[in-house]
Amino acid sequence: MAIKYGRPIELREVSRREGAAVPHALDLTVRPRRNRKAEWARRMVRENVLTTDDLIWPLFLIDGHNKREQVASMPGVERLSVDQAVREAERALKLTIPCLALFPYTEPSLRDEEGSEATNPNNLVCQAVRAIKKEFPDIGILCDVALDPFTSHGHDGLISDGRILNDETVAVLVRQALVQAEAGCDIIAPSDMMDGRVAAIREGLDQSGLSDVQIMAYAAKYASAFYGPFRDAIGSAKTLTGDKRTYQMDSANTDEALREVELDIAEGADMVMVKPGMPYLDVVRRVKDTFAMPTFAYQVSGEYAMIAAAANNGWLDGERAMMESLLAFKRAGADGVLSYFAPKAAEKLRAQG
């Protein structure tokens, strides 16, 4: 018997009632709205859920003490001095957010052509990792690996004659990863899109006795306009010369994303990421279906700014848009999301019980 919409097709005709009770009633066997008739019924058939376990909270760091600075293009997001970042780590623990991601605003005087501050074992990121881990060893810490917060030109790698050098950059990234891991960072997240960096970092970590440190590769990272507010936050917006299209991916491509992800997995990535998030949910789905790896998405600064700005203008319900946007990542197959909404979303989830 052919089954369609949960009822044998042969029986659908038979079941029609004579003289419907309601005038103009449609003779429908299947009414999808029945499963939506009440909140308890909707809860029963709900396919995806967002929990606080799905959230990674990115924090911006700034030098100083007891300092919090609003990021102009990201309403509600601040740059934090290390002591304040420690306070936020405590908040994250209470909200059962499993992991923080750290990004430094580097003083312009510390930026140079080579991004040397990246490999300073006492740079702002390393200070913050040590301070947070000392007080709250049970929260996960992810550190970005790329040179852009530290270079005077704002690029993720070393430059020669206007070209971003791949292999030379990878050597520096390994040293950057090592100072972060030695400071106590749990997850190294290379965001630079140089070829071969995952393998090099894995080897560097293993040779230094840091084989427990995980790698979350920004595997499919696109050259995107949605990073604008982030570059404002870390202070590279004004200095960035040109664009990042010779290393970050072309937004027209998805097969290429699969090849990038496959390489990073082969090179030793424990987890992979797609970035940006909402405009690339198709990529998240393909990556998850193809590789069945822990797959993360980054709801980037521009995505956050759009929702926050519209909400501040009263153009949409900010809380609902936030929750809906985060759930979209779960629906697309992501295991978690890096989001500036993390603390707000976690507060809301916990209030719901």
Ligand X SMILES: NCc1[nH]cc(CCC(=O)O)c1CC(=O)O
Q: Per CB under 5 A, does 260 bind Mg ion?
A: yes
Q: Which of 156, 186, 260, 264 binds ligand X (CB under 6 A)?
A: 156
221 is annotated as an active-site residue: yes
Instruction: Give whichever of 7 and 245 is closer to ligand X, judged by the CB atom.
Output: 245
Residue 59 is classified by DSSP as E
CB closer to Mg ion, 148 vs 260: 260
Among Mg ion, ligand X, none, residue 267 binds (CB under 5-8 Å by kind): none
The Cα 211–Cα 206 span in angstroms is 5
50: its two tokens: 């967002």
Task: Pull the structure tokens for residue 311.
Answer: 């909400």
Q: Which long-range contacts (CB under 8 A, 24 or more apart) does 156-163 make?
A: 156/191, 156/192, 156/193, 156/194, 156/244, 156/247, 157/192, 157/194, 157/247, 158/113, 158/114, 158/115, 159/113, 162/242, 163/246
- Which one of 146, 283, 311, 322 is in contact with ligand X (CB under 6 A)? 146
Q: Which 163-202 residues touch ligand X, going by CB under 6 A?
A: 191-192
User: Of the listed 4, 67, 133, 221, which one is catalytic?
Assistant: 221
Alpha carbons 76 and 73: distance in angstroms, whole number: 9
Quote the least distance from Cβ 144 to ligand X, whole Å. Answer: 5
Note whether 144 binds ligand X by CB under 6 A.
Answer: yes
Q: Which is nearer to ligand X, 156 or 260 (CB)?
A: 156
**In the complex, minimum distance from the CB of residue 309 to ligand X, in angstroms, rounded to a whole number:** 15
- Tokens at residue 301, please? 């600064």
37 is known as an active-site residue: no
Counting residues that bind ligand X (by CB under 6 A) gives: 12
Which lies closer to Mg ion via its Cβ, residue 256 or residue 319?
A: 256
- Measured CA to CA, the distance from residue 277 to residue 71 in angstroms comes to 21
- Nearest Cα to 98, choosing from 187, 180, 198, 183? 187
Catalytic residue among 133, 244, 275, 288: 275
Q: Quote the least distance from Cβ 221 to ligand X, whole Å.
A: 7
Is 260 a known ligand-binding residue?
yes
> What CA–CA distance (Å, rounded) separates 21 from 97?
53
Q: Is 300 in the site for ligand X (CB under 6 A)?
A: yes
Shortest Cβ 338–ligand X spacing (Å): 8
Q: Which residues contact 273 (CB under 8 A, 6 or more apart)?
A: 189, 216, 217, 218, 219, 220, 221, 295, 296, 297, 298, 338
Q: Which residues are annotated as a binding site for Mg(2+)?
A: 260
- Residue numbers of the site for ligand X (CB under 6 A)? 144, 146, 148, 156, 191-192, 227, 230-231, 244, 300-301
